[in-house]
């Protein structure tokens, strides 16, 4: 089986790697994905963007990329879209128009339930099967036969869960996976590490796809940090973490490591997200707890609130015992992993 894959995000490719373990050797990927998984037309590092402004700058590139993916689709058996709704939804529309009988699967669905719910009808009309990783998500869809809650992929990928509270003297820092995020947060995180002091080991978690890059160009002077490319093990060993938004916050929550979310968006992106689309919560774990009608798990510091004083205040104030208890609730809510189920559905086993 030849599978056209569109996975533009680093986090989506982590899930795709886990999914590949459960697919048979007969399944061949073509399209956009991490080059460690085959021979993509573009590696994920070539297409990563952050926010509305960055996307607008590359609009012509993505228009041509969509055309190239549609041409590729004439020789595939099925399509697998993952996350990245800004690219994948227009692609799905064009694929359905060009190849009405080609099966389109969507895994890691657009968060249409959070903003722009009108996209749900578009998703249902252009995709044949929808694999939801959020327990509450299917309720928002009308074509129930198309959508299946398959579990959350992080429960496949994370093997380490904390059961006790320990002061390990290790603190983790995750300033993001995009250069624009890192440039905003790393100076603040450096100051935090300096104020907390040398009694702790300060560990900078670096995305694996940066392993062969010049880290000084990306981060500047990071001599005060230890370095790690192993997210899950380092979070497990750390007593606290300072994390940019995204999948990493949910990873820390599932593992049981107390943390604070720190995010500085471009001013225009922040205005659009909060004022036009009405987004009030960005931490995935916090969104889950809202759906369970329970208080947030962790603090979210945004924009000007991301400063050294506020970050250290949260580090000092968090109740680690309560945090650990609530992470058990989170894992129970998510129930199971998704990779094996999605592989079975794609191959119709």
pLDDT given for residue 213 in this prediction: 87
| 74 and 185 together in one domain | no
Which 3 state secondary structure label does DSSP give 172? strand
pLDDT given for residue 277 in this prediction: 65
Print the SS3 string covering 180-219.
Answer: HHHHHHHHHHHHHHHHHCCCCEEEEECCHHHCCCCHHHHH
The verdict on residue 346 lying in a domain is no
Average pLDDT of the residues in 108-123: 84
pLDDT exceeds cutoff 60 at 53 = no
pLDDT given for residue 52 in this prediction: 45
Average pLDDT of the residues in 87-103: 96
DSSP string, 211-245: TTS-HHHHH---TTSEEES-HHHHHHH-SEEEE-S
Q: DSSP assignment, residue 298?
A: S
Question: Which residue shows structure tokens 């044949």?
Answer: 128
| 307 and 207 together in one domain | yes
Question: Which residue shows structure tokens 């190849």?
Answer: 99
| 99 and 203 together in one domain | no
| 189 and 307 together in one domain | yes
Q: 133: pLDDT confidence band, cut at 50, 70 and 90?
A: very high
Average pLDDT of the residues in 154-173: 93
Q: 279: pLDDT confidence band, cut at 50, 70 and 90?
A: confident
Single out the residue in 120, 149, 178 at which a domain terminates.
149
Degrees (nearest 5) of the Cα angle 281, 333, 8? 55
The verdict on residue 302 lying in a domain is yes
pLDDT exceeds cutoff 90 at 10 = no
The verdict on residue 158 lying in a domain is no
Task: Report the alpha-carbon distance of residue 43 to residue 31 in Å, rounded.
Answer: 9
Single out the residue in 98, 115, 149 at which a domain terminates.
149
The verdict on residue 48 lying in a domain is yes
Task: Report the alpha-carbon distance of residue 62 to residue 113 in Å, rounded.
Answer: 25
pLDDT given for residue 115 in this prediction: 67
Q: 326: pLDDT confidence band, cut at 50, 70 and 90?
A: very high
pLDDT exceeds cutoff 90 at 276 = no
| 175 and 142 together in one domain | no
pLDDT given for residue 293 in this prediction: 93
Whole-prediction pTM:
0.83
Q: Which two tokens stand for residue 332?
A: 């129970």
pLDDT exceeds cutoff 70 at 20 = yes
| 183 and 124 together in one domain | no
The verdict on residue 155 lying in a domain is no
The count of domains in the chain is 2
Average pLDDT of the residues in 177-190: 93
Whether 18 contacts 156, CB under 8 Å: yes
Average pLDDT of the residues in 54-62: 70
Listed range (162-171, 204-213, 253-262, 306-315) with the worst mean pLDDT? 204-213
pLDDT given for residue 208 in this prediction: 86
pLDDT given for residue 5 in this prediction: 97
Which residue has better confidence, 29 or 58? 29
Share of the chain above pLDDT 90, in %: 74
| 125 and 227 together in one domain | no
Task: Report the alpha-carbon distance of residue 166 to residue 164 in Å, rounded.
Answer: 6
| 105 and 191 together in one domain | no
The verdict on residue 344 lying in a domain is no
| 11 and 124 together in one domain | yes
The verdict on residue 244 lying in a domain is yes
pLDDT given for residue 51 in this prediction: 47
Average pLDDT of the residues in 208-233: 92
Task: Report the alpha-carbon distance of residue 104 to residue 76 in Å, rounded.
Answer: 11
CATH number for the domain harbouring residue 303: 3.40.50.2000
| 136 and 176 together in one domain | no
| 136 and 245 together in one domain | no
| 212 and 82 together in one domain | no
Q: Which two tokens stand for residue 90?
A: 């227009």
pLDDT exceeds cutoff 80 at 256 = yes
Domain of 186 in residue numbering reads as 170-334
CB hemisphere CA count around 238 (13 angstroms): 29
The verdict on residue 343 lying in a domain is no
pLDDT given for residue 111 in this prediction: 84
Q: Which of 279, 283, 261, 263 is nearest to 271 (CA)?
A: 279
Q: 124: pLDDT confidence band, cut at 50, 70 and 90?
A: very high
Q: 44: pLDDT confidence band, cut at 50, 70 and 90?
A: confident
Helix axes 320-334, 284-291, angle to 10 degrees: 70
Average pLDDT of the residues in 148-168: 93
Average confidence score pLDDT of the chain? 91
């Amino acid at each position: 089986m030849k599978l056209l894959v569109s996975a533009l995000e680093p986090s989506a490719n982590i899930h795709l790697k886990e999914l590949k373990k459960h697919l048979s050797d007969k399944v061949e990927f073509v399209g956009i994905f991490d080059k460690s998984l085959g021979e993509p037309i573009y590696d994920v590092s070539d297409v990563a963007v952050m926010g509305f402004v960055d996307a607008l700058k590359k609009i012509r590139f993505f228009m041509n990329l969509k055309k190239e993916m549609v041409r590729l689709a004439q020789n595939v058996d099925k399509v697998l879209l993952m996350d990245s709704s800004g690219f994948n939804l227009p692609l799905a529309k064009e694929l359905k128009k060009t190849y009405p009988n080609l099966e389109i699967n969507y895994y890691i669905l657009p968060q249409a339930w959070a903003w722009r719910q009108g996209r749900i009808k578009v998703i249902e009309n252009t995709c044949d099967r929808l694999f939801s990783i959020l327990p509450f998500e299917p309720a928002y869809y009308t074509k129930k036969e198309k959508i299946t809650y398959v579990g959350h992929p992080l429960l496949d990928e994370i093997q380490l869960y904390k059961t006790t509270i320990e002061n390990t003297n290790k603190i983790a820092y995750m300033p993001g996976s995009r250069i624009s995020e890192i440039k905003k947060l790393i100076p603040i995180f450096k100051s935090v590490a300096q104020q907390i002091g040398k009694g702790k080991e300060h560990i900078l978690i670096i995305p694996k796809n940066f392993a062969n890059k010049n880290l000084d160009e990306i981060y500047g002077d990071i001599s005060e940090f230890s370095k790690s490319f192993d997210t899950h093990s380092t979070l497990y060993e750390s007593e606290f973490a300072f994390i940019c938004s995204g999948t990493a916050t949910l990873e820390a929550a599932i593992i049981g490591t107390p943390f604070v979310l720190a995010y500085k968006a471009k001013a225009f992106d922040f205005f659009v997200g909060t004022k036009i689309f009405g987004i009030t919560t960005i931490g995935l774990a916090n969104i889950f707890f809202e759906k369970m009608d329970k208080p947030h798990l962790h603090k979210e510091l945004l924009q000007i609130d991301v400063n050294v004083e506020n970050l250290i205040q949260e580090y000092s104030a968090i109740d680690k015992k309560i945090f650990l208890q609530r992470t058990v609730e989170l894992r129970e809510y998510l129930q199971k992993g998704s990779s094996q189920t999605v592989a079975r559905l794609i191959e119709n086993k």
